[in-house]
Structure 1
């Protein structure tokens, strides 16, 4: 199959290194655009932070989100399991007084019992029993999760295996929390559109989120990428559906 020069140039361009959890390289220029959710995770976190003395941000990434919540509670900690993100998070958050902790297992949080008034979690896995242990009685756990049907159309277009987390959904998450006697206060679920306006942006996305297509590489998927590129040339974008759900629960 003949490859046009622009297609090959865009693939080559995506050797750009990805660090932290900042997609501004492609999203800031509009190369990837996502539809709005019916809730604002940031607004909910800010409201819950009022009168909070101790807060934990689970899976802080490079600290991009947490750093924008200033002023932070007197004691604020953050966990991160992806090693390349740790120096990025430390550089951004330690000057703000945030304690950064590397974790390898969700069921082993290095904090004492009943330590936090508020635990927030955006797109990070969690163990309900461990969240309960480190959360004070009456404390709040707020999580926004990526559901197992997220961007399924990418896998279909690439003829790749399904997302390894395909069975993760709102019901599973709620059942886990209720089994630990959490009171579920709020639930929401959305499937917003996400569009990729050039093939390079899609490649960048897949490199940054390796669990979407774990065996992704340019050589093995070049034919499928070329087909997606033809869709983009014809329609102007390649469209998929995200899967997001939100749970607010109290201990």
Structure 2
């Protein structure tokens, strides 16, 4: 396939530095955007934080999002499993009174039984059984998840199947698992908003930041399908994919 000079320049000048969980390099510049959901995770989380006496944020990344939700209760913890993010999160969150704990196993969290009356989880894996162990009997668990069909059009263009381990992950499955572990559901919603890329380099940056989408992603290896996407963007002005999002608020029965 004959590729134009602009595309070769994109491949040779791809920005790869990424830390914490901050996509502002491509979002604040308007190079990637997402259709609005009918709910706001942040608007749901803030009043719960204000009422909480003890809270946990699961998978805080670099603490970028959580830091915007302060002030926090006196007992506030955050977990992070990706080692490079831990010092970033500690630097950002510990001055705000949040203790950051590195974890390796969703099924064995270093917390006491019924320790938290609020547990937050945005796009992080979790064990329903372990969440039930550490949440207070009158506590609230709020989670927004990326479903197994997230950005499936990227995989279709790249010729890479969706991860079979997560393909089943949707609202119905998550609700079933929580209910089986002693939770009752107060809020449940699932939507497929559009995510739009306005240039090929922003898509490359995105895929380098989320290695689970295309596990062996390398721009040179996938140059041919990336060039097809590049042509779509040149013709239409953008490349659209479907996000998969769902939110659940629950409490122990």
Look up the match of 1:197.
198
Look up the match of 2:140.
140
Contact 1:155 1:163 in 2 (8 A): no
Q: Deviations over 1:6-26 (max 9, x none)?
A: 112222222331111000001
Look up the match of 1:175.
176
Please list every run of 5 or more consecutive structure 1 residues that lacks an aligned counterpart in the other structure.
none
For residue 107 of structure 1, report the CA deviation from its aligned partner. Answer: 0.6
C-alpha distance in 2 between matches for 1:136 and 1:118: 8
Q: Deviations over 1:189-224 (max 9, x none)?
A: 110000000000000000000000111112221011
Runs of 4+ in 1 over 3 A off after TM superposition: none
Look up the match of 2:5.
5
Look up the match of 1:61.
61
Look up the match of 2:209.
208
Contact 1:116 1:136 in 2 (8 A): yes
Q: Deviations over 1:117-170 (max 9, x none)?
A: 100000000001110111000100000000001000000011112134211111
The correspondence of residues 114-193 of structure 1 with structure 2, limited to 5 A, is 114-164=114-164, 165-193=166-194
C-alpha distance in 1 between matches for 2:5 and 2:19: 28
SS state at 1:163 partner: coil
Q: Is residue 216 of structure 2 the alignment partner of residue 220 of structure 1? A: no
Contact 2:22 2:64 in 1 (8 A): yes
C-alpha distance in 2 between matches for 1:13 and 1:173: 40
Taking only aligned residues, the RMSD between alpha carbons, in angstroms, comes to 0.9
C-alpha distance in 2 between matches for 1:12 and 1:204: 13
C-alpha distance in 1 between matches for 2:42 and 2:20: 19
SS state at 1:137 partner: strand
SS state at 2:202 partner: helix
Contact 2:106 2:125 in 1 (8 A): yes
C-alpha distance in 2 between matches for 1:154 and 1:175: 29
Alignment size in residue pairs: 251
SS state at 1:10 partner: helix
> What is the TM-score of this pair, normalised by structure 1?
0.98
Contact 1:157 1:224 in 2 (8 A): yes
SS state at 1:50 partner: helix
Contact 1:62 1:92 in 2 (8 A): yes
C-alpha distance in 2 between matches for 1:17 and 1:122: 23
Contact 2:16 2:208 in 1 (8 A): no
